[in-house]
Amino acid sequence: METNTPKADNPDVQDDPKARELLQAAFTKTARWQPDFKGFQADLRINVNGKEATGTVTVKGPRDVTVVIEDDDLQTWAQSQIGMIAGHRGPKSFQESDGKHTLTLEGEENHPLGQRINIHGDSMGSWYRVKDNRITQINRNMPQAAFTINVEDSAITQDQLHLTTRYTVYYFSPKDRSLKNVDSFWDTHVRVDNSDLPATRRIISYEDGEIVTRTLTFENHTML
């Protein structure tokens, strides 16, 4: 296993044009909501190990998600989960995200998940792998948390962009890299007007010795 040791913020590190080209190409080929996206509303069904609840959700942006449902715990969880979806899908430029940092290459090009790209100067000790214009792995290493996301499958949208459909997140202890929890995600999407919106999300989790299965189902989407 690689150690995933965070890189120090070193002003002597020089940006590698090849690393920038690879990561920007993958960023450009990733599906996001269009710049004039104003949000959507949908009916929402939640199932956690057979416990079901229904409600509604309004999404206007990553920090503007409102879930209306009677169960407070499910409401909090769903709002966080849908906020994460919106955060990944929201419109942004490469320079607003990883492009504002110094980027370098490391390791061999023939790794099964692609070339490693180090992100210098961010607060999360991040590094990625990129292959065939796709980000295939994301690593974050912070004092309070460490995790690796392996992107396993994606769909091609009508706009010929990659939209992730399956990925797994491995959570580690930042101190000794021991595995703590695992989340396996499976997403589907529906095209509404010019936007690819969430249709379903299933998460199978290993949490403190238990397997938990949760689903979100979005129906009757309406654009705002």
Strand partners, 45: 54, 217
Please give the share of the chain, as a percent, with pLDDT higher than 90: 75
Q: Is the pLDDT of residue 42 over 70?
A: yes
First to last CA, the chain: 46
Give the Cβ contact number of residue 148 at 10 Å: 20
- 50 Ramachandran zone, left/alpha/beta (phi>0; psi -120 to 50): left
Q: Full-prediction pTM beyond 0.75?
A: yes
Higher-confidence residue of 143 and 45: namely 45
**Sequential DSSP letters for 115-178:** EEEEEET-TT--EEEEETTEEEEEEEE-SS-EEEEEEEEEEE-TTS-EEEEEEEEEEE-TTT--
Domain-by-domain residue ranges, the chain? 17-33+40-223
Higher-confidence residue of 98 and 144: namely 98
